[in-house]
A = this chain, B = another copy of it.
Amino acid sequence: MTGSKRITIHDIARKAGVSPSTVSRVLNSTTPVAEAKRQAVTTAIQQLDYRPNLIAQGLARGTSTIIGVLTQDIGSPFYGELLRGIEYGFRGSRYHPIFADGNWQQAEEYNALNILRSRQPEALIILGGLMPDAEMLAAAQEFPLIIIGRSVPSLEEYCVLVDNFQGAYRATQYLIEMGHQRIAHITGIRSHQDTLDRQAGYEQALRDANLPINPDLIVEGTFQEQSGLLAVETLLMRANPFTALFAANDQMAYGARLALYRRGIRVPEDVSLIGFDDLPSSAYTTPPLTTVRQPTFEMGMSAAKATLNLIDQRPWPLPQLTPDLVIRESTGFARR
């Protein structure tokens, strides 16, 4: 179970008949080294299967090559693609992301941030979260910082996000174009900015079409499946008919779809259903879900790339990401 003595730069120096400094130099090719010695060192490294101790290197160089990533719910389908994108973005670089989860609770976020801090990250990526803007500004003082899925005033140029208002507007508008007039909305958690922006987009689209905003058609969810299911039950109990339903994320749309199914309400024949996110599985629900696509993988990847650029003090172009409406089969014309 326990390995043999970890082998160090000194071991290979001895074996190669040079000084540790020289070994370090061939390792990092920072300074020319005589060919013979270089050879000796190289073969010694191979023979002893030596691998530099990154943490010692980190201490000596003052660089940890670690990027702290503050997540909110590692494990949720939405974060899955984001993480994959981040992981992909750092591949081949010498940097390695480490994750700490805030669990959508402020106290845990602070805690996670401190955990990350103690690992001396060279930059931070923060995904959403409930931390006050002031804290974000403070963090930006301390580290190169990229923020995903949230817009922080005066830090806009470090934020990677799609326009939630715009996405929701587009979704609602599409429903209206399809002839729907009574469009219900399941919101996310009130404290999230996404929730507010998406609801605002929904309402604006209604307004622009001269349709009334009916509070009875709006119900709050939690971004999770079960809440979508419950929301539909609530909506149905209110006996306020609707022919279309816009859920603030796909997971709630799944729950809503199930509630509808249980009541024998057909999608899209009786009710059109539209989500937000375009999770990978949304293309495989029955019927496949019409939804507002967030390019999550790309968001993660560009955040990673931007982080690398920030560290190297290069410009960090962030892509112009627009939420696309992906029209599948859960939406149709309103019944006449």
Which residues on A are within 8 Å of B, measured CB to CB? Answer: 1, 3, 51-56, 58-59, 64, 73-77, 79-81, 83-84, 87, 96-101, 114-115, 117-120, 140-144, 225, 229, 251, 254-255, 257-258, 261, 280-281, 283-288, 310
Contacts and interface: CB of A to CB of B under 8 A. Distances in A.
Contact of A1 (B75, B97, B144, B286): B144
Contact of A58 (B55, B115, B287): B55
A100 B96 CA distance: 9
A98 B74 CA distance: 13
Contacts of A115: 96
Nearest to A253: B284
A257 B99 CA distance: 35
B77 A281 contact: yes
Contacts of A285: 254, 258, 285-286
Q: Which of A119, A140, A225 has the most CB of B within 10 A?
A: A119
A56 B53 contact: no
A51 B114 CA distance: 9
B87 A83 contact: no
Nearest to A108: B91
A286 B285 CA distance: 8
A286 to B, nearest CB: 4
A1 B52 CA distance: 30
B87 A101 contact: yes
B51 A55 contact: no
Given A51-B117, A51-B118, A75-B83, 20 more contacts: A1-B140, A1-B141, A53-B118, A53-B120, A54-B120, A55-B55, A55-B120, A75-B80, A75-B87, A77-B281, A87-B99, A96-B100, A97-B99, A98-B98, A254-B284, A257-B284, A258-B284, A258-B285, A258-B286, A261-B286
